[in-house]
Structure 1
């Protein structure tokens, strides 16, 4: 084994080791709340919150306070009036891996700290180009790939947040119509923390420009980033299970983009979901999402039962 084989920017924790870092942070969430936060086909229980997300919340709280102190000191140094600038957390990972559930759990837990009670959650789905625009660009079959997002608009949104702008608007996406909602906006008004959740938020630009030094990444605006990881075969299984369950719920909505798939048999649903996975989601995972994993500050690795069994934290 070479000397470099053990070189890694991460410290690895088992579930038991990580849970011990919770210390005395109280459980301020009920079983009913946990049930409401849980995503489709996801697994979330009191033990998962206590062992994984309470220690993570404590870590983020410490980072947030340190960041606020640093910003205050820099404002004094620059002799500028201090503005309220949010601490921004990015959450990345594959489709169906459980990012949205984690984002909602962190949103709920972090908002209960006295030092940063105002927390907003924004998903990057709203920054997808509209279906009409995707069709015009002939990339409807690459929805979710980096080129399907209006990255310029997302960067403007993040820049406004980090500039301390009092009121910032984010576009809203409907998973029923499977499209951006042009007449709806999410209003973000000087929160203490903003959670940005999306599959490609750690993705750097694909092409370098002549002025590389001026190039900005979405992740440049993040103060802390999380990648939700799992074995590919597990994510595929969760994706198919979720698709089958959606037949009985959201797909039955007359307004649903996927209404025509509500009556598929189990076998038909499996083959249809597998086709989408193979052509789009798995390809996106391998080409764009998974390569960004080690750009995160924290990697949560899930086991086959959707529960986190390993945590990797970037060394400071």
Structure 2
């Protein structure tokens, strides 16, 4: 990790910089991005591409809800405009808010993002953005990723047992075996397809590929020449 932080600091020349972090669903993008943010020692802001998902209402109207998370379900143009505004010197911008509780865009609120020294954008479509200055792809063994996905889903569902407003609440009384089967069916029909068809192909644009072990620790870092 020290090598990666040193490389980013070398690339940062005192002007606004953007870093894109991508990889499979559940590979640990948000945690990795926050780790980088804390290690850099300058003003860094992390935002998720999830804030630029189309609303569920829009996805349903366009018959895209079953593909949620695929590139065509994001408003990447609006995210590009955020990057452009900061590059042109804007001090702050407003962006939508995606809530995990509702698994949807909040129709009534937005969030204000102050211009940082470095903006880290993490998400499954992050490497598709044209204006980012440094691109990182996270890679791990597929079986580890699938286990992380299952574990996270079961844990988040258990946490929703007293929260009737959460979309996960409907699954909290499901026998764990059935929930596990449903979770992995979702993986096979959606997340694996997204990984194979969209996320993995974006790896070619990465400046750095970071390999994670089964404990989510950095195992190796390969820098593209």
TM-score, normalised by the number of residues in structure 1? 0.68
Instruction: Say whether 1:143 aligns with 2:68.
Output: yes
Matched length: 225
Q: 2:103 aligns with which of 178, 182, 186?
A: 178
Equivalent residues in 2 for 1:110-259 (5 A)? 110=40, 112=41, 117-203=42-128, 218=129, 220-250=130-160, 252-259=162-169
Deviations 1:182-235 (A, max 9, x none): 2332322221111011111113xxxxxxxxxxxxxx1x2111111111122221
Tell me the secondary structure at the aligned position of residue 222 of structure 1.
coil
Distance 1:221 1:186 in 2: 22
Alignment partner of 1:301 out of 205, 211, 220: 211
- CA change 1:277–1:252 in 2 (3 A) is farther
Distance 1:178 1:255 in 2: 11
Corresponding residue number in structure 2 for 1:86: 16
2:39 is matched with which residue?
Answer: 109
Q: What are the Cα deviations for residues 240-293 of structure 1, in whole angstroms up to 9, with x where unaligned?
A: 111111122145422111111112222112101011101110000000001111
Gaps of 5+ in 2: none
Task: Rate the CA distance shift 1:186–1:109 in 2: closer, same or farther, 3 A.
Answer: farther
Relative to total residues, which structure has the larger strand share, 1 or 2?
2
Q: Following the alignment from structure 2 to structure 1, what is the Cα–Cα distance between the partners of residues 33 and 161?
A: 24
TM-score (norm 2): 0.94
| 1:313 matches 2:223 | yes
Task: Give yes or no for the alignment of 1:58 onto 2:6.
Answer: yes
CA distance in structure 2 between the partners assigned to 1:244 and 1:252 by the alignment: 15
Answer yes or no: is the 8 Å Cα contact 1:170–1:187 preserved in 2.
Answer: yes
